[in-house]
Amino acid sequence: MRTRKSGIGRKMLKALATVASVTAVLASGAGKVLAQQSMDDPARAAYYQQFKGKRVVFVPVFMGLDLTEGWSRAMKLQSERLGYQYEVRNSNFNTAAGAQTLTSLISEKPDVIVVQNPDVTSYAKLLQKAEAAGIHVIQLNMKTNTLTYGFVGANVVQLGELQAEAVVKKCGPSTSGKVLILDGPPTSPFSAYMQYGYDNVLKKAPGITVVSRQSTGDYESAKAKSITQVVLQQHPDLCGVLGVWDNTDVGTAAAIKEAGKTGKVFVTTSGGGGAVSCKGLEDGSWDFYVSYDVPGQARDLTDLVSAALQDKEKVGTNKIVLYTPLISYTKDNVKEQSCWVLDNIH
C-alpha cells in the first residue's frame, strides 16, 4: 500500500513538476513575445513634442473659394493631429490689407506663414523680410517673382501651355482659328505666367488669331460673360476660348450658351478640379479642363509645413519648389476624376 501510495505520489509530483516547468517556459516565452510587440517608436515622442506651441498662419487672397477652403481644411486637420496652432488671416481680395497682415506678422513671428500672392510683386519684399526675421514662408499656388523656403502649386506656365495646345489642336486650318483670351487681374501670377505659357504655344501656331485679350477684373464671372458676349458679337465664328479659372468661366459658358454656340466654341479653363469642374464638363460649359488637384496640393502643402516646422537650418538655406502634377480633364475621362468636395480633403 505504502509503496503504491508513494508511487502514485511520486508520479503526481513528477507530473506537477512537468506542468509547472512547461508553464514557466511558456510563460517566459510568451512574455518575450509580448515585449517584442510593444516597443515605442523612438522618433514619435520627439516628433510630436516639437510641434507644441508652434504657430502657422495662412494669408489667403480670399477665403470662401473651393481652393482656399480646401487648403485651409487640410492645414486645420493637420494642426489638430500635430498640435500646432493654426489661424487664417483673410485679406479679402485687398492687397493693401494683405500687406498690412504680413507686416504685423513679421513682428508677431509665427513659425510658418503660408501665403497666396495676389500679384507677382506686391508681397515680394515683405516675404523676404519675414524670412530674414526667421519665419519660414511657404507660397501657395500664386507665386511672387522671388523664391522663399517653399512653393507649393501649379506650374502656371505649363498650365497655359496645356490649355493652348488643346485649343490649337481643335482650331485647325478648317476653322476660323479665332481665339479669345480671358485673364485675371493684369499682374496676378495666373495672368502673367499663364500668358507666357499661351504665347509659347500660340506663336508656333500660325493659323491662330487672338481676336481679343481681356482681363476679367478680379476673376468676375459677370465680366467674363459680358466680354464673351461682345467678342461673340464681333466674331460669330470664334473657335476657342482660353479661360482663366472655372468659377470665372461659368460666366463665359453662360454667354456662349445664350448665343446658342455651346459645342461650337471650344472652351478651355482650369482650376482646383473640384465638383464645379466636373459639372462644367458634363453640362458642356467647357470642353477641356486642367486641374491643379487641390487634394494633392493639400498633401504637398501639409508635408511642407511639417518639414518647415522640423527644419533646424537657418531660414533661407533651403528653397523647395513642389509643382503640382497637372491633370487634364475632358468629357471622355471626367468619370475617372476625383471631382472632390470639401469632405474629401484630409
**Beta carbons within 8 Å of 301's beta carbon, 6+ residues apart:** 71, 74, 75, 114, 138, 140, 152
Closest contact distance (angstroms) between CB of 235 and another protein is: 9
Span interacting with another protein, options 25-33, 51-59, 218-226, 328-336, rule CB under 8 A:
218-226
- In terms of phi and psi (left: phi > 0; alpha: psi -120 to 50; beta: otherwise), the region of 64 is left
Cβ proximity to another protein: between 162 and 298 the closer is 298
Asked if 212 touches another protein (CB under 8 A), the answer is: yes
The set of cell numbers assigned to 18 is: 512537468
Part of the chain binding another protein (CB under 8 A), chosen from 45-53, 219-227, 265-273, 296-304: 219-227
Kindly tell me which residue out of 57, 162, 231, 339 binds another protein, with binding defined by CB under 8 A. Answer: 231
Among 52, 125, 213, 335, binds another protein (CB under 8 A): 213
* Segment interacting with another protein, rule: CB under 8 A, options 18-26, 32-40, 62-70, 300-308: 62-70
State yes or no: residue 261 binds another protein (CB under 8 A): no
> 140 with 308: CB under 8 angstroms?
no
Backbone φ and ψ of 211, nearest 5°:
-85, -25
Helix locations, 109-183, DSSP H? 124-132, 156-170
Check binding of 18 to another protein (CB under 8 A).
no
- Residue 342 interacts with another protein (CB under 8 A)? yes
Among 103, 104, 145, 233, binds another protein (CB under 8 A): 233
Q: Mention every residue, 6+ apart, whose C-beta is less than 8 A from residue 231.
A: 180, 211, 212, 214, 238
List CB contacts of 223: < 8 A, sequence separation 6 or more: 216, 217, 251
Distance of closest approach, residue 181 Cβ to another protein, in angstroms: 10
| Among the listed residues 42, 64, 173, 206, the single contact to another protein using CB under 8 A | 64
Place of cell 480633403: 345
Return all residues near 322 (Cβ < 8 A) that are at least 6 apart.
Answer: 150, 151, 152, 153, 300, 304
Least spacing, CB of residue 220 vs another protein, in Å: 6
Sorted by sequence, the CB contacts under 8 Å of residue 54 that are 6+ apart come out as: 84, 85, 111, 112, 309
Contact track, another protein, 119-158, x by CB under 8 A:
----------------------------------------
Nearest residue (CB) to another protein, 191 versus 337: 191
8 Cβ contact partners less than 8 Å away, ≥ 6 residues apart: none
Smallest gap from Cβ 303 to another protein, in A, equals 26
Q: Taking CB under 8 A as the rule, does residue 62 contact another protein?
A: yes
Query: Angle of helix 66-82 relative to helix 294-310, nearest 10 degrees?
Result: 40
Place of cell 493631429: 81
Give the residues lining the site for another protein (CB under 8 A): 62-66, 69, 92-94, 183, 185-186, 212-215, 217-218, 220-222, 225-227, 229-231, 233-234, 247, 250-251, 253-254, 258, 276, 342
